[in-house]
Amino acid sequence: MKYVVTTSYRPTKEMVELAKNLASKYGVKYVNRRHLAKTLQLEKIDFYYVIDKNLMISIKWGNEKFFFHQGIAKIRMENIFHGEKDYLIESVKPTNNSVIYDATCGLASEALLLAHFAEKVVATEGSIHIYRIVKWGLERYKSNVEWINNAAKKIELIHSNYKEYIRMVKDNTFDSVYCDPMFENPIFESNSINPLRGFAVYEPLNIDDIEEMLRISTKRVVIKTHKKDSLYKNIKHLFNEEYLSKKSGVVYGVIVK
């Protein structure tokens, strides 16, 4: 896909300098915002990175925008604080000395939840564009919710395909491993996920991958899938426990080591 780097309207000198630096780093063209519309008309540009006023980066195409945000994590944590159970936390069971591996980071909403309860979360993201946006956000986004700022500091995000990463890791490196591959039957009502679908890595999880995840964990492997997906049908016999959302059909399947 072809893309460029630009700024929002009426940029400061700092914004322009940052945009030029990122364009150079990414190996693409910097486009002055005033010239962006013409560039989009003359060249086949699939999307463009934007440096915003607060020096955060986002990706835009058409009427769509992909950017780092607290997402559903804030709402889910509020529910937890009010005594409601969260299937992610129930299934992974993080503790304050846990080191957890999140194989498919995405927007890091679930990594943030896990990191709040754990000592550290190591996460991988296979898509370079999702990785850039989320990495930038985890390092620079300042939330008005303090637990999010603290949790972000405990996440180590790595740009890597999880299938390759898990085969390089030593035995028993992590307490728990969590994997949330893209669903075959997507929940399009999930507005936080929809913008990243075009950038996501779609690779099926298989039994060999799960065996590697068990090898590098000491306690459990948790797979998030959908009741209607073939993945669930193929691996449900491995689960020792299941946490099912009857409303959405989402399953957190637990394999206890």
Please tell me the predicted confidence (pLDDT) of residue 192: 55
Q: What is the CATH number of the domain that holds 50?
A: 3.40.50.10480
Q: Give the chain's radius of gyration (CA, Å).
A: 19
Same domain for 126 and 244? yes
Please tell me the predicted confidence (pLDDT) of residue 201: 76
Same domain for 98 and 218? yes
Closest to 239 measured CA to CA, from 224, 249, 228? 224
User: In whole angstroms, how far apart are CA 7 and each of 14, 50, 65, 248?
Assistant: 10, 5, 14, 38
Task: Confirm whether pTM is higher than 0.85.
Answer: yes
Burial of 41 (0-12, 13-18, 19+ CB in 10 A): exposed
Please tell me the predicted confidence (pLDDT) of residue 199: 76
Please tell me the predicted confidence (pLDDT) of residue 13: 97
What is the residue-level pLDDT of the chain in tens, covering all 257 positions? 899 999 999 999 999 999 999 999 999 999 999 999 999 999 999 999 999 999 999 999 988 899 998 878 999 999 999 999 999 999 999 999 999 999 999 999 999 999 999 999 999 999 999 999 999 999 999 999 999 999 999 999 999 999 999 999 999 999 999 999 988 865 544 555 566 667 777 788 999 999 999 999 999 999 999 999 999 999 999 999 999 998 889 999 999 99
Q: What is the CATH number of the domain that holds 149?
A: 3.40.50.150
Closest to 182 measured CA to CA, from 205, 156, 166, 162? 205
Contacts of residue 70, Cβ cutoff 8 Å, sequence gap at least 6: 109, 112, 143, 145, 148
Same domain for 60 and 78? no
Same domain for 154 and 43? no
Q: How far is it, in rounded angstroms, from Cα 60 to Cα 4?
A: 10
Domain count across the chain? 2
Which of 27, 52, 67 terminates a domain? The answer is 67
Please tell me the predicted confidence (pLDDT) of residue 188: 46
Same domain for 43 and 81? no
Same domain for 10 and 61? yes
- On whether the CB atoms of residues 214 and 255 are closer than 8 A, the answer is yes
Q: How far is it, in rounded angstroms, from Cα 63 to Cα 83?
A: 38
Q: How far is it, in rounded angstroms, from Cα 77 to Cα 64?
A: 27
Assign 154 to helix, strand or coil: coil
Same domain for 224 and 244? yes
Site of tokens 């209607």: 228
Same domain for 124 and 220? yes
CA angle 42, 48, 53 (to 5 degrees): 125
Which of 20, 39, 67 terminates a domain? The answer is 67
- Residue 7 pairs in a beta bridge with 51
Domain range enclosing 62 = 3-67
Which of 16, 33, 67 terminates a domain? The answer is 67
- On whether the CB atoms of residues 53 and 18 are closer than 8 A, the answer is no
Q: How far is it, in rounded angstroms, from Cα 17 to Cα 173?
A: 41
Please tell me the predicted confidence (pLDDT) of residue 2: 94
